[in-house]
Amino acid sequence: EVQLVESGGGLVQPGGSLRLSCAASGFSFRTYWMHWVRQVPGKAPVWVSHINTDGSTTDYADSVKGRFTVSRDNAKSTLYLHMNSLGDDDTAVYYCAREGISGFDLGYWGQGTLVVVSA
């Protein structure tokens, strides 16, 4: 069974940093692209970033480019999101997701971790 478990969320002050982790199990982590998606409760999800199988290719939403960095450790089956210069509008539930069968959809999602940016 595919399992994705996010951690690392919490309360952080504006301008601060946070690192989110996503522990994967139940599948061959090193063979799938992985994504981060965030969602303000009551709003639509927003795609944040993705990373290819060996970490050599990453893409970001404009709103986080230059501030967030996605990485992965295939030996540990873990995905990371390093977030710097956090602002109020980064407050959201952050989900990690695995690509689905088609390779172009988000087939499996974690339960999410809440990030609150507030003084």
Partner 1 sequence: DIQMTQSPSSVSASVGDRVTITCRASQGITWLAWYQQKPGKAPKLLIYAASTLQSGVPSRVSGRGSGTDFSLTINSLQPEDFATYYCQQSYSIPYTFGPGTKLEI
Binding of residue 101 to partner 1 (CB under 8 A): yes
Contact 37, 111 (CB under 8 A): no
Contacts with partner 1, 3-42, as mask; x by CB under 8 A: --------------------------------x-------
Stretch that binds partner 1, among 10-18, 22-30, 75-83, 104-112 (CB under 8 A): 104-112
Show Cβ contacts of residue 77 under 8 Å, excluding neighbours closer than 6 positions: 23, 24, 25, 29, 30
Handedness of CA 40, 46, 51, 53 (dihedral sign): positive
Contact 117, 86 (CB under 8 A): yes
Contacts with partner 1, 44-73, as mask; x by CB under 8 A: xxxx--x--------xxxx-----------
What are the residues binding partner 1 (CB under 8 A)?
Answer: 35, 44-47, 50, 59-62, 95, 100-102, 104-112
